[in-house]
Structure 1
């Protein structure tokens, strides 16, 4: 077992902002993440896409810096700046050389707490996000996932695209978006996490300087999600059919979380997985086929994606259903061992990257109130038994509910019913 890293230290400022310091010896670079524990899942339908639009808008100007100044001042010192909006978190990130913590903290604080929010910029950025929405709709292997998400969590925030719609983002004004910023990035859900060439005393001083004055009340916590299931199909003239099958699973806080991760790995996590071997290697039904787990605070989904010829879509759907059924009855020792090795390898590899560490630390603090020792997580993975995965497989099937999306030639659309019938008939 690799030597355990020292556990990052976690501090809380008087206003509730939490600070995580995770130094790594011998590095000449650092990563700084400012993460808000709210995202698209906090939106109602009228504000769908506002969290992502806001992420765009803060880069148009913040504090005393213009849009160009924000990127130039970071890049001039060898750094990189980025951001991402998810359903449950919004993250602003900087990678920098050793000594870049002061500048990075100042810039990220301006983005999160002091964006300019110019009306002319908003008009242009709504157009830009509209193009992003159109691009996603024109990209089959993006759009098919949005279709599946809507089928799985219809009528709920998790069922709406993070990008929103043209209509919903057009409703935003600088005033309403500023109010949304105050609710989304409120101090109770902010975590500042730094990893790499960082000094704890410096980080705490900078966090107090730049974020200690943040005030405001956050948006209400989202209501629990319910996996509704259903079918979404779209006929489109494409060379390939794109298929997504989702089944209800557990959330990241559930004791069966690692069983779910291992389930997905065995089912379709690599070239030795059941789906890859059966659907591609043995039957030649698909070039791309894999399984994955999507987890949120309170719920999750087990997913399968495949791209195939339209004539093979229904047969591929039946094969996928058969492999899901098999996961509820039999797990071989060798495949469980492989899955554990793969999951631990990905976890330890992520620990070798400062940005992955800072993002992971922030997410853990938001979810659990503390960072989790990697060695303990590895022990939890090792403790999962074949029977644990079989029990989870039975739990996944028990509601007799699936969300299926098919995008492609008309002949492929019958794959939706083929999956449902094969799985539940």
Structure 2
């Protein structure tokens, strides 16, 4: 839902003969380049048996490619002043490099090698599978991470969106080298690849590199169906842990990134828990002292979304906080105030401009727009959409978020906090707004 800092004329989208899209975003006065290569696929395309394969493949391509070892790949990037990383999400997998302009040629060739010509050695796979299993164990040992996984599993039960992107022991053991080779051809198919460079870059130079390095990507061996539409089922997950604080996550259905009310939903989220002046921070922390940490966020995918609240609090305060969170969501959907709407709109617009000052964020936002909307959206258009989110628009979006009465909740911590999950879901289903609204 974000956009790079652009004027009236955004950068052009070039399409290579094999379907790879290329975007050049020059930023005058800068001395570095951000190169991003992303594919419009991720963990949502996995069956239960294949859970975690996209993330495992992301790890494996760094272990060696085109005759170079993992160490040689790392040395090649860092010798030119570059830094490289990658991330697997539900709907895309992103590889990125930050480097000096003279390092762009090598960075493009290297990303092409690891995406299109990875070694995928069986011995590397054995080692990297263990690394990912340790990553899973580490996440399970972090309560403020695990509680989000628990809540999303409840929200999208028995669906790819409800499964851990990292996978699990059984599914990772099924991934042999042959399976990962087939998975790579489908996951990184050229018609889903987007190459973006932002910063000290010339368009002709980028197009030359893209033609050299990515026009060679072959077609997918067979068409793969789109993932089934997601369905927010709602539900409850609890985990009894001997902790000082309870970790709480409350969720309700959201909107798709392309929905006409998506920006109004984002304004709703900002009003609810987007900063120190938000409803939840002021009421839960400042007025009542129920929690040190409390905030709200939204997820906007291709066909659905979710709105969530996170809080860390003492077990004795968990149920009161659950009722407060539900009540504030309901009251905001009915009675947004102009002052909070103005603050939320200003914060969202400021976030757009601040993000545009980061080359890596600019490039990643361009990828998101092309894969989600099929075009680049000027920041002036985004600002106008945000400005159009008046009280009526936010009420409409809020009503849509809450109309089903469905909710999901997760509580991780002392058993005394667990009833908060049930109480939140019951309050959301009842559709009433308990307790006074904020003054």
Match of 1:111 among 106, 114, 126: 114
Compute the displacement of 1:6 (Å).
Answer: 4.6
Q: Distance in 2 between matches of 1:238 and 1:94?
A: 39
The answer to whether structure 1 residue 145 and structure 2 residue 140 are counterparts is: no
CA deviation string 1:44-95 (max 9, x = no partner): 1100000000000000001121100111111111110000000000000000
Asked if the contact 1:62–1:111 (Cα under 8 Å) also holds between the matched residues in 2, the reply is yes
Q: Distance in 1 between matches of 2:119 and 2:289?
A: 55
CA deviation string 1:234-279 (max 9, x = no partner): 1111111011111011010000110111100000000000000000
Match of 2:267 among 262, 265, 290: 262
Report the equivalent of 1:317: 322
Compute the displacement of 1:409 (Å).
Answer: 0.4
Report the equivalent of 1:72: 75
Compute the displacement of 1:423 (Å).
Answer: 2.5
What is the number of residues matched between the two proteins?
424
The DSSP-based 3-state class of the residue aligned with 2:319 is helix
Q: Distance in 2 between matches of 1:220 and 1:57?
A: 25
Q: Distance in 1 between matches of 2:107 and 2:9?
A: 24
Compute the displacement of 1:351 (Å).
Answer: 0.7
Match of 2:374 among 361, 369, 373: 369
The DSSP-based 3-state class of the residue aligned with 1:47 is coil
Q: Distance in 2 between matches of 1:44 and 1:158?
A: 11
Q: Distance in 2 between matches of 1:422 and 1:211?
A: 53
Match of 1:391 among 396, 408, 416: 396
Q: Distance in 2 between matches of 1:319 and 1:371?
A: 39
Report the equivalent of 1:279: 284
Compute the displacement of 1:3 (Å).
Answer: 8.0
Match of 1:18 among 7, 17, 21: 21
User: TM-score, normalised to structure 1's length?
Assistant: 0.98
Match of 1:250 among 252, 255, 275: 255
Matches within 5 A, 1:16-415: 16-217=19-220, 219-415=224-420
Q: Distance in 1 between matches of 2:224 and 2:199?
A: 32
Compute the displacement of 1:388 (Å).
Answer: 1.0
Q: Distance in 2 between matches of 1:3 and 1:198?
A: 16
Compute the displacement of 1:367 (Å).
Answer: 1.2
The DSSP-based 3-state class of the residue aligned with 1:288 is strand
The DSSP-based 3-state class of the residue aligned with 1:151 is helix
The DSSP-based 3-state class of the residue aligned with 1:45 is coil
**How much is the aligned-residue C-alpha RMSD, in angstroms?**
1.1
The DSSP-based 3-state class of the residue aligned with 1:271 is coil
Report the equivalent of 2:435: none
Q: Distance in 2 between matches of 1:111 and 1:219?
A: 22
CA deviation string 1:356-395 (max 9, x = no partner): 1111111111111111101111011001111111122122
The DSSP-based 3-state class of the residue aligned with 2:118 is coil
Q: Distance in 2 between matches of 1:208 and 1:338?
A: 45
* Unmatched segments (≥5 aa) in structure 1: none
Q: Distance in 1 between matches of 2:182 and 2:324?
A: 49
Compute the displacement of 1:99 (Å).
Answer: 2.1
Judging changes above 3 Å, is the alpha-carbon distance between structure 1 residues 79 and 33 closer, same or farther for their aligned structure 2 residues? same
Which ranges of 4 or more aligned residues in structure 1 deviate by more than 3 Å? none
